[in-house]
Amino acid sequence: MASAGRALVVPALKQHTSTIIVAHGLGDSGAGWTWLAENWRRRGKFEETAFVFPSAASIPITVSGGHNMPGWFDIVRPRSIPSNSLEEIDFKEDETGLLRSREYFHSLIAAEIEKGIPSERIVIGGFSQGGAMSLLSGTTCPTRLGGIFGLSCFLPLEYKLKDLVPKDNPNKDTKIFMGHGDADQVIRLEWGQRSANKLTEMGWTVDLKTYHGLPHSADPEEIDHLELYLKERIPDLGDKASKA
């Protein structure tokens, strides 16, 4: 599929009972986020979990002068919110690219289900552009997920989301975790807050945590909070798995 390259997989150490799909940001690759799995592996966390790190294909990015770089969708014009209003957004979205990448992430979820992983033990998440794709793909997924998380990101196609969500909305009770630094110079905290508010208005339970002084990056405390969220959503089953 044009929206993605090859995905890196870190297999489960024990019986495979859950999967976490992690999407990278603009200009990065799946390899750039394998440290997340390695961090938890070193500490004996999520041993029944396989990690999938997909890589986006290189596409022309308009705001970068049309130069090719790995991206889940084009950025046509930077997002800007006037200081006196959160209602006006000067932002043109690449709907075609967003929906194409959404289809790809839904196919990754379907592939895990085909392997025998219950959909409610699959989590999708990501950073920056990848976080945006995770929020969009997770909330519109046709099967129930275990969790959805987005770090330093925003919700794309927010005004169209209602039409994209399946009518029965299997993920209406899927809790969402978001993390955002208050010094983010790329995707401002206000955009993350706006997205969290929009999702809450639509009925989702969103836990948005902010981190003082954090720029457009991940933070050890943020990863600890993400770990707690994941342990609640997809705990290792241990003996329960072998008896199932």
Q: Which residues are catalytic?
A: 128, 184, 216
Sheet with 147-151, side-by-side order of all strands: 8-10, 49-53, 18-23, 122-127, 147-151, 176-181, 206-211
- β-pairing verdict for 67-70 and 58-61: antiparallel
- Positive or negative torsion for Cα 30, 237, 175, 110: positive
Residue type at position 135: L
CA 4, 231, 104: angle at the middle one, nearest 5?
15
> Taking the CA of residue 215 as centre, how many other CA atoms within 13 Å lie in the half-sphere pointing to its CB?
2
Paired tokens of 192: 């993350």
Cβ-count burial 113-123 (b if 16+ within 10 Å, e if not):
eeeebbbbbbb
